[in-house]
Amino acid sequence: MKNIVALVTGGNRGIGAKCIEEFAKLGVNVIINYCHHEEEARDLEKYIKETYKVKALAIKCDVSNSDEVEKMANTIVDMFGGIDILVNNAGISRDSLLLDKSIKDFKRILDVNLIGTYLCSKYIGKIMLEQKQGKIINISSTNAIDTFYPESCDYDASKAGVLSLTHNFAREFAPFVSVNCICPGWVKTGMNKELSLEQINEEKKKILLGRFAEPEEIAKVVIFLASSKASYINDSVIRVDGGKYNG
């Protein structure tokens, strides 16, 4: 995958950082989008350049802010001349009892997870359409399909919206840009740092493989969808959850 450019939103840590590294291993030039953790993003940028000898650029951008996303898209065209792959990975969760949720918190989840995916697909997708080629991979969640906990109803709604955006953008951008979606189950990242050992053990019992995923196990599916091996896969939703059932 030489001379290819990939943008991963929320690329500074967790699943996003593993996507960045897996792309770089293949010689892909990478753009590491982040929102709050600048040092983490700069450290990753340096590590990727030194280790894999590809171009790497960390860009601060709140994906829920239309002006910032448009500016990020313009910077990418100026610095890389175009873009081949977009991974809409940036996401947040904030669990609390359904009746206790503030509208402000609820909207923030929708803004980042759903509106962020929309804005990046819109502005980066425009560039891909002009190029007449590109691949968009959205990171949703099994919570988009199954209902596990009312505490994450805002997150679940945002991720169900990401499924809908996948299908709509796939139609809008066909036949030039493929749009696919991955629904991970539990993954070992900072997003789950609040879980107690007891909760983790309870959740593992509901997974056929009996464990949470390593972030690279999600990243490898992203790489597959971005590669020519997935040339006939479009408008698809793939669960990567180790066989998780809604118990």
Report, as residue numbers or ranges, the catalytic residues: 155
Member of 5, 9, 52, 225 binding ligand NDP (CB under 6 A) = 9
Closer by beta carbon to ligand NDP, 131 or else 237: 237
Q: Which is nearer to ligand NDP, 121 or 189 (CB)?
A: 189
Contacts of ligand NDP in 153-182 (CB under 6 A): none
Q: Does 109 interact with ligand NDP (rule: CB under 6 A)?
A: no
The C-alpha atoms of residue 221 and residue 208 are separated, in whole angstroms, by: 19
CB closer to ligand NDP, 112 vs 223: 112
Q: How far is the CB of 175 from ligand NDP (least distance, A)?
A: 27
Does residue number 14 form part of the binding site for ligand NDP (CB under 6 A)? yes
> Can you tell me which of 5, 21, 91, 118 binds ligand NDP, judged by CB under 6 A?
91
- Binding ligand NDP by CB under 6 A: which of 16, 134, 161, 242? 16
* Tokens encoding 243: 């066989």
Give min distance, CB of 241 to ligand NDP, in A. Answer: 8
Candidates 58, 90, 120, 219: give the one binding ligand NDP (CB under 6 A). 90
Phi, psi of 89 (to 5 degrees): -110, -25
174 Cβ contact partners less than 8 Å away, ≥ 6 residues apart: 234
CB of 3 to ligand NDP, least distance (A): 26
Pick between residue 34 and residue 173 the one whose CB is nearest to ligand NDP: 34
Residue among 72, 73, 139, 230 that touches ligand NDP (CB under 6 A): 139
Least Cα distance to 30 among 46, 14, 177 occurs for 46
CB 18 within 8 A of CB 222: no
Nearest distance from C-beta of residue 2 to ligand NDP, angstroms = 26
Site residues, ligand NDP (CB under 6 A): 9-10, 12-16, 33-37, 62-64, 89-92, 112, 116, 139, 141, 184, 186-187, 189-192
